[in-house]
Amino acid sequence: MVQSIIFDMDGTLFQTDKILELSLDDAFEKLRVMNQWSGATPIEKYREIMGVPLPKVWEALLPDHSMEIKEQTDAYFLERLIENIKDGKGALYPNVIEIFEYLTERDCSIYIASNGLTDYLAAIVDHYHLDDWVTETFSIQQIDTLDKGDLVRTIIEKYKINNGAVVGDRLSDINAAKDNGLLAVGCNFDFAQEEELAQADFVINDLIELKTVLFR
């Protein structure tokens, strides 16, 4: 029986798309005011790379801008994300709380491993009281490599996990599971890509399906 489950946050537990466009628009509007951007907000390009650490996001969206501008944009984007979370404009995916309660009843330990930044993750955890079920939330900021596999390894080593699964929507989550000898469960949600999910051990369309996938 699987004893520990490590969840991704964006696109897995939290419906990031509900605040993504709002926050990205805010960030690029600020760039327009500063005469650092013209044209539409590159929301589609961001959707293509959704799930990578934020420094890599700005490398992709603002390749010709200075590091100073990238850092300013990063900080403002994070600020807007957090405010939108606190304002209740985001949402968890269906059945997050139900599956957390189910897993807790089965004495499973729950963790979160995310490419999101610490303050951003804390805002989600606090707003939805996820600490009632989650043992600890880990951010990519906590490691130097910005590699999801290394982040998952940090959790495994800290909590001495030897039987577990990683649940996420992107290839980085699937690879993180396989690199660490854990079960890889792919979530066919908003940002998922078919060719990436094909590499998972199991694919689910709703988190409630973890009941059958993890406890056969």
pLDDT band of residue 32 (cuts 50, 70, 90) is very high
- In this structure, the number of other CB atoms found within 10 A of the CB of residue 78 comes to 18
Q: Report how far residue 203's alpha carbon sits from residue 212's, in angstroms, rounded to the nearest whole number.
A: 12
Q: Report which DSSP code applies to 14.
A: B
What pTM did the predictor assign? Answer: 0.90
Instruction: Judge contact between 112 and 9, C-beta under 8 A.
Output: yes
What span, in angstroms and rounded, lies between the C-alpha atoms of 143 and 108? 25
Write out pLDDT tens, residues 81-137: 999 999 999 999 999 999 999 999 999 999 999 998 899 999 999 999 999 999 999
Q: What is the CATH number of domain 4-15+91-214?
A: 3.40.50.1000
Tokens of 56: 């890599």
Residue 22 identity (one-letter amino acid): L
Dihedral angle over CA of 30, 35, 36, 37, nearest 10: 80
Token pair for residue 122?
A: 């804390």
Q: What is the pLDDT of residues 42-79, one digit of tens each?
A: 988 887 887 677 788 999 999 999 999 999 999 999 99
In 48-115, at which residue ranges do the beta strands (DSSP E only) sit?
109-114
* Tokens at 125, concatenated: 């955890």
